[in-house]
Structures are given as C-alpha cells and as structure tokens.
Amino acid sequence: NKEIIILGIESSCDDTSAAIIKNRTILSNVVAGQKVHEEYGGVVPELASRAHQQNIIPVVDLAIKRAGILKKDISAVAFTRGPGLLGSLLVGTSFAKGFSLASGIPLIEVNHLQGHVLALFINEKDKEYNPPQFPFLCLLVSGGNSQIILVRDYLDMEVIGQTIDDAAGEAFDKCAKVMGLPYPGGPHVDRLAKLGNPDRFEFSKPRIPNLDYSFSGLKTNFLYFLRDNLKEEPDFIEKNQEDLCASLQKTIIDILLAKLKKAAKQTGIKEITVAGGVSANSGLRNALQKSAKKYHWNLQIPKFEYTMDNAAMIAITGYFKFLNKEFVGQNVVPFARTQL
C-alpha cells in the first residue's frame, strides 16, 4: 500500500489555494481570498490574476509546511485546468507545470466541477469516513454553475440537467446587489433570510421542461418588483430587507429542489449529495434535509470548507486520476469553458 501524496492547486476565480492530500486524507488546505474585488461589487479578472501571482508561492509553501511533509515526498501535482477565468487559470497552470518539471513528478489536470463533486470523498484524520455510494446524484450549485450530475464512478459523471442562463449563486449575488448588499451577496441573503418571512412576497419561477434550470427570469422579476415598489415607497428595501431575502431565498430553493426531486424520481436514485458554494446556504441545507426524510434519501452534504473553491477538492481528484495514471504533458493549456 504505497503512499500517494498529491499537491493540489486551485486558481480558477478569486481564491488562490493549495492543498496536500495523502491517499484520501487531507493534510493541509490553504486558501487565500482576494479583498481587492469587494469595492467593485464583483471579481475583476485582471486584478484576480495579479493577486494569484502574488499569492501562489507563499500559499503552496504554507500548504507543504502545514502538511508536515517534504517537497520530495510529493507524488504528483494536480491543478485546475478549467472552467474559470483564463488569466487566473493561467497562473495555477503555469505554476503546476513548473513544479512538475522542477521536481520530476507527473502533472494532472482537473476539471473544477469534477473537483466540487469529488470533495465528498475527502477523508479527515480521526473522523468518521462516510463517502456517498455509487451511483449518486449531485446538485452542484456555485457562483458559476447549477447542475444535476449523475455520478456513476469517481471519474464517470454525466450532467443530466443544468442552467440555461444564470447560476443559482449568480441569482443570489445579483439580487443581493440590487438590494445594496456587499459582494458576494449569497451569505448576506442567507443571514437576513433567517429573520424574515419567506411567504411574504412571491417571485416568478421558470417553466422549462426536463431537468434544466433558469434563473435569469427571477432576477429580472426581482429587479422590476423592487423598482415598482421603490416608486411608491423610497425606503421599501430597508423596511422589508429581511422578508425580501427570505422570500427570494425560498424561491431559489424551491426551483433547485423541484428539479432535484424530479431527477431522483426519474433515475430511481436515493443517494443524494450537494456541492459548490451555494450548498453553504442554511435554507437549502434545511430544505434538503426535509426532502431526505420525506423521500428516504441518503443525503450527504460536504463540510463547509470543502464546498467553497478550495484546492483540497483538486488534490482528491488528482489522487483518483493518479490511480488511473491520467497524466498530462507540458503542452497542456487551461480552458476558460469546459464541460464535465
């Protein structure tokens, strides 16, 4: 039973992250966020790339140090190839290539979305290990994606439903922005929603066939609703912020759950998981737990720190690809847009 140690690198958006995984067990996971974007109300790609360049070496050094290993013990380096911001991806890709070349170890490319799903297989030292059983369904909800994925095996996944426009995280963030909340708005909506009445306002839900999602209609509906009410009442938002957040969150959750239930019914799969940044949402977690009881699902929700962008999920994916000897050469280039 040889020890496999993977260094994972994630730089797809605005978090620079490095992690060390030994077999399936996490040894370290360092994430450096970027504050520069806050004042712009969204990620500025050029600033993100520059911050990645500044962060990457200290972040990797710290991950190796915290893991208590030596550089020479690393079996392979895995990096996020895409999807994401091209300039950001380039920093992680170039670093990983250089590290692989200098250390004489294999290079492994990882799809960021596959990483979100495989985060469910990260083992923590001295903790119970309860990964999902194949086949399972994964509701992947993040700032850039909303998908239902049928996972047959570690590296065998199929997208069976996905958003045709905005992602669920975008719906949270964009609606939060028009309410004047800071970026990213998702966590703020979550916090305020806890104090509000989710049935106070009703917003539109998409009517689209199959297992696909759509959130742009809701966003427009929310914007017009605020605009109309602000005409009558200039302090409409301040007065109703908590109910607005609660009602908006309920609508997003209802949309997400409706298709997930449909997918579970269609496939007959009761092993259900969730991944991506929006899975941190407390309302979504509660709704999933309720559905799990009602429909006898075996529900797995990853630990909070592995649902957001992080390199631990890239390292664990790298581990499974290492076992399959799925390596890439120095000619590999990042992809801004890739499918699973």
Binding site for ligand KG4 (CB under 6 A): 13, 142-144, 169, 172-173, 184-187, 190, 276-278, 280-281, 308-309
Q: Is 142 annotated as a binding residue?
A: yes
Whose CA is closest to 216, among 201, 227, 203, 226?
203
Q: Is 141 annotated as a binding residue?
A: yes
CA separation (Å) from 227 to 168, 216, 221, 258? 22, 17, 10, 28
| 27 vs 189 by CB, closer to ligand KG4 | 189
| 59 vs 308 by CB, closer to ligand KG4 | 308
Q: CB of residue 314 vs ligand KG4: minimum separation in angstroms?
A: 13
Q: Is 190 annotated as a binding residue?
A: yes
User: In the bound complex, which residue of the shown chain has the CB atom lying closest to ligand KG4?
Assistant: 277
Q: Is 116 annotated as a binding residue?
A: yes
CA separation (Å) from 10 to 83, 155, 195, 332? 11, 19, 35, 16
Q: Is 112 annotated as a binding residue?
A: yes
CB atoms within 10 A of CB 319: 26
The whole-angstrom separation of Cα 124 and Cα 126 is 6
| 77 vs 193 by CB, closer to ligand KG4 | 193
| 133 vs 282 by CB, closer to ligand KG4 | 282
Q: CB of residue 68 vs ligand KG4: minimum separation in angstroms?
A: 27
Q: CB of residue 234 vs ligand KG4: minimum separation in angstroms?
A: 27
- Asked whether 52 and 11 are in contact (CB, 8 A), the reply is yes
* Helix segments in the chain, DSSP class H: 45-67, 86-103, 112-118, 168-178, 186-193, 216-232, 236-267, 282-295, 312-323
Provide the annotated binding site for Fe cation: 112, 116, 309
Provide the annotated binding site: 112, 116, 140-144, 173, 186, 190, 281, 309
